[in-house]
Each structure stands twice: as C-alpha cells, then as structure tokens.
Amino acid sequence: MTAPQDSRPTPQTPKVTEREARQVAEAAREQDWRKPSFAKELFLGRFRLDLIHPHPLPAADDAQRGEDFLARLHVFCETKVDSALIEREARIPDETINGLKELGALGMKIDTKYGGLGLTQVYYNKALALAGSASPAIGALLSAHQSIGVPQPLKLFGTQAQKDAFLPRLARTDISAFLLTEPDVGSDPARLATTAVPDGDAYILDGVKLWTTNGVVADLLVVMARVPKSETSKGGITAFVVEADAPGVTVENRNAFMGLRGLENGVTRFHQVRVPAANRIGPEGAGLKIALTTLNTGRLSLPAMCVGAGKWCLKIAREWSSVREQWGKPVAQHEAVGGKIAFIAATTFALEAILDLSSQMADEDRNDIRIEAALAKLYGSEMGWLMADELVQIRGGRGFETADSLAARGERAVPAEQVLRDMRINRIFEGSTEIMHLLIAREAVDAHLKVAGDLIDPEKNLSAKAKAGAQAGAFYARWLPKLVAGPGQLPRSYAEFHPQDHPDLSGHLRYVERSARKLARSTFYAMSRWQGRMETKQGFLGRIVDIGAELFAMSAACVRAELLRTTEEYGREAYQLADAFCRQSRIRTDELFARLWTNTDDLDRKVVTGVLSGTYNWLEQGIVDPSGEGPWIADATPGPTTKDNVHRPVR
C-alpha cells in the first residue's frame, strides 16, 4: 500500500562539501586492478607492448555474424534512411525506427538466447559508425539504448529474472533510456536529488531528470535515485528499471539542440511513481558504481561515431579537393589545404585503430580497459571535432552553407556544417572533456595514491603518515630506477615494425617508450612538489592525460598498421598513414610536455578571480545581451506535473 504523501520527505538537492562529493565519487569507482591494463602501465612509465601486440582478432564465427549484419544494415541505411528529412523535421520517422527494430538493431549487444544478435563490441561499434554516418541521430538512438540504457546494466548486474523479463523486449521492440542527470546535478552525483523511498515491496520515486536521451520515446528507463538511509539500510544512489508509461511518469519537454536535431531528448518528472523492488538493479547504494561500470565500455560508442564521421570527412575532402581549382590546380595540391587532408586521413586511421583495439580487448575480457575506453572517448571526441572543423574550412563558404541551400541553387547537398554541429556534443556527452581529464588522471595516479595517499592527506594522523611514508619509500625505491633507461634508447628495439620497403614505425614506438618514462617522472615530480594540492592542478593533470592519449594513439596506430601489413593488400599504405599520424602526434606530444612546466595556469587563476569579483566588468561594455529572461537553472521542485505529457512510444 502506498504511504501517505505527507509522510515522505521532500526531495531537495543535498548540500555537500567538496570533500564529501569526492568521497562519493571515490566510493563508486572500481578500487582494484584485477587484470592488466596497457594504459595504466603506460602512465606508470611501463610500455607493455605485449598487452596489445600482436593485435587481438575476433573469432571467425563472431566476425562472420558481424559482417552479415553490417551488410544488412548498410543496405538499410542506404535505402531506408533519409538523413536530410531527419534534419529538416528534427525527428526520426517512426517507420525508420520500426525498420531498425525489424532488422534487430535494438538487440545488437543482447545475447541471442534473449532474441538479440549477440554481436561483439567490435562489430557493435562498426555498426554504430555505419548508422551514425547515415544519421547521427540514429547512431545516438541506438547507442543510448544499448551502451548506457537498460540492456547493459542488466547484462552486468541484473538478476536472471530481470534478464528474462526485460531483455527480450529490449532486443526487438522496446527502446530504453538512462536517467542520471538532473537540472542542478551534472558530473557531481553526490548532490543527486531524486529519491526512492521504500514502501513495502516497492519504492516511491520523486524527482526530475534532465537531458534524458531517448526519454521521449523510451519504453523502459534505468533511473538513478537516492534511497534514504535508515536503521536497516545504508541507502544511497540506487538503480531501478522503470516502465516509462507508469502512473506519475511525465515527459515534460522535448529538448532541442544545435546539432543532433533528431535526438529524442527530454525532461522527465517522477511524482510518486511506484516501482517494484524486483526492478531494483543490484543492492541499494550501488547505483553509481553500476553507472560507472556500464560506462567503461559504453563510452566506446562515441569514438565509434567519431570514426564514422572521420571517414565521411575524408571522403568529402578527397572528392571536393580534387575538383575545386584555385590558381590553376586543384586545392588539394596547395600545401595549406593538403596539410588539412593529411591530418584528417592520418587521424581517422588512428581513431579507428584505437577503437578496434579497445573494442577487441573488451571482447576478450583479459585486460582492464577502463582507462583505454576513457582515452578513446576523450581523444575521439576532441580529434573528431577538429576533423569536422577542418572539413568546413576546406569547403570554404560551401562548408558554412546548409545542404538544403546548396541543393536549392543546384549544387551537391553536402551537410558539412551539420556534421560540425552534430559532432560538437561528443566533447560533452558521457563525461565532458574536463571531467574525462579528471577521471583518467585519478586512475593514472592510483598506484601513487595507494602507497602515498595517506602521506599527503591533511586529515591523516602522524601514525598513518609514518606508515604511508614507509610504504612509499619501498615502492619508489623499486619504481624510480626503472624510469631511467629502457628499450626506447636502443636503436634496434621493436625491429619487427620496420619491415623491408615500408616506413619505419619502430622509431615511433621507441619514442612512446621513452615518453612513457618521462611522463611517469613528470607525474612523480608534480606529486612531490604539490602533494595534497595536486588535485587542484587541473591544467597540469589535463596535459598529463593528453600526453597519455597521444602515446596510446601512436601505439594503437602502429599495432594496427602491422596487423594490416600481414592481413590486407594495403599494408604498405597503412604503414604510411601510421607514420604520418605518429609524426603529427609527436609534435603535439612534445608541445604538451613543454606546457607541463611552462604555462599560464597561475596567471589564469588570478584573471578568473578578477572576472568573478567584477574587476573586469568594464570589458563587457558596448554590447547588448540577447538572452531571454528566466533562472539559470530551472526549478526542479518535486510534485505533480503542470505540463502535458509529450512521451510518444514508437509502435
């Protein structure tokens, strides 16, 4: 029986300190490293090429099943997807979504015993790249449904009864969404306000969720809500499967964005929504850990669509630059444009190398890829945006013009400006670049914090610090001498990456090995210098992570080139692209190393203080602000809805 309304506490955004917020995030992250990690070792100065080379490959039957589905999906995308229509009407037609259902696209990652296709991570990501190239909105729909929606948490943490009940629906007919973000809660889940109050054999949900991708059309939701602490339960953030048409669930708004115009993203209100306790995923308080674990591989969906976009940018750049002439020759033959094309080609090769390698490692499950997946998302979203921007520049005025406008005056309808708009969100989706820097940096320094964390923690007593000091001394006595020399200083190291009549990639791998040791030394020096203040040095930590991303990308590119040399007829060309990418990447890496210690971080902090205090308000004079009226953050007070329900399940 439902408890009376006035007996329930009013959900409010909790007030938490910075330390409390960090403790919540720390408790949710995976604490142990039970499997090896190439990227973790890289940040510790150990270049473990053996963890990624020879390049792992999918099993033959997995590959055949994946290729068969890609062939069907390719035909569907070419004949049944009207990307221009989706852009104009800001909606994926119901018949297109139903076609995807019939194709089995909703169940790509769901096991065949539940009616899914049972694709590997490798082929799932290839499918997302293909679907996303036809329409980024379709890629987002499929990704949100399977990468972070209900299927993945159930696969990892669901009971057998939950899998039997929900996975067959999700494989063929039901669309799912993931609801974590709230109007005043983004990457700081300690302040989560939506509550789930126990009530007999159920929970009563109250609260408001923002930016619910797929939420407008979803049939099933995975919702993160806070269970209050009690005498019998520690409570905490908990995950629930919620029927989207349950009484009290209202989609109050369908949001509109600068890109991904077909995205079914909304605001969802829960008012005294009764959810059976059987729909709780995992124990109470495990919701954030479930969300973060789900994202470990779920994040790979974003670089997948960045790879698809990169391939399209390369195709358009090649075709356009070979026919557009300036000063008597095609613009591709002018160095200023040619450099951009070379960047797009080399970077697309590297992004696909990162994606395929990370995905195959996820399938094999012999490595811990939490850092690799995060690096793939970070690097893919940043480089994908740059490639789209360069394509617009190559196209010139036509790059800024819409596809409809181009077609109206008789030219090929190339949606370059749309791709730029669509790609921009990837730097924010599923962890912004800034948050990814902090998340990866935390994992990168994990070994240091385990042995010396108490030493730099101001709240630890002298006894704890003394014990930590002894542990740190023993660890660094073994670790630091190994950072002095390595295979990167030997001219014959990695000789298998310099086959006859091919570019020499062995030198790039020697550079990676040397740079990994340099990166580890820089991290150690910074921790020694700043100690407990290290967590505030976000500019420094961001550059450390970006260096690691470049080193990972170079490693993946070289390993992929060697694989293609032995398996494909275009192996020499793959070596050329890997060589070009590594040379470009090394320039960026050297610059990042220089900026570790020569930067404007301290001055920037002073300027920010001045901006916030009003010191520079005079600089804002001479403009008008076209912004509308209203609060910066919408009111999310719980209670009954005052708006119409715009939820529209696709049937």
Supply the residues annotated as catalytic. Answer: 430
What CA–CA distance (Å, rounded) separates 648 from 219?
9
What CA–CA distance (Å, rounded) separates 307 from 310?
5
What CA–CA distance (Å, rounded) separates 307 from 370?
20
How many CB atoms are located within 10 Å of the residue 534 CB? Answer: 20
What CA–CA distance (Å, rounded) separates 465 from 454?
6
What CA–CA distance (Å, rounded) separates 131 from 262?
14
Q: Which of 427, 555, 511, 645 is nearest to 49 (CA)?
A: 555
Which secondary structure element, helix H or strand E, spans residue 486, and what is its range? Answer: none
Amino acid at 246: A
**Strand positions, DSSP E, 295-410:** 325-326, 329-330
Q: Which of 524, 527, 529, 541 is nearest to 476 (CA)?
A: 524
What CA–CA distance (Å, rounded) separates 574 from 559?
10
Please enumerate in sequence order all residues whose Cβ is within 8 A of that of 242, keeping only pairs 6 or more positions apart, or say none.
205, 220, 221, 222, 223, 249, 270, 273, 275, 279
Query: Taking the CA of residue 516 as centre, how many other CA atoms within 13 Å lie in the half-sphere pointing to its CB?
Result: 31
Q: Are strands 329-330 and 249-254 parallel, antiparallel or unpaired?
A: unpaired
* CB-count exposure of residue 364 (10 Å: 0-12, 13-18, 19+): middle
Q: What are phi and psi of 445, to 5 degrees?
A: -100, 10
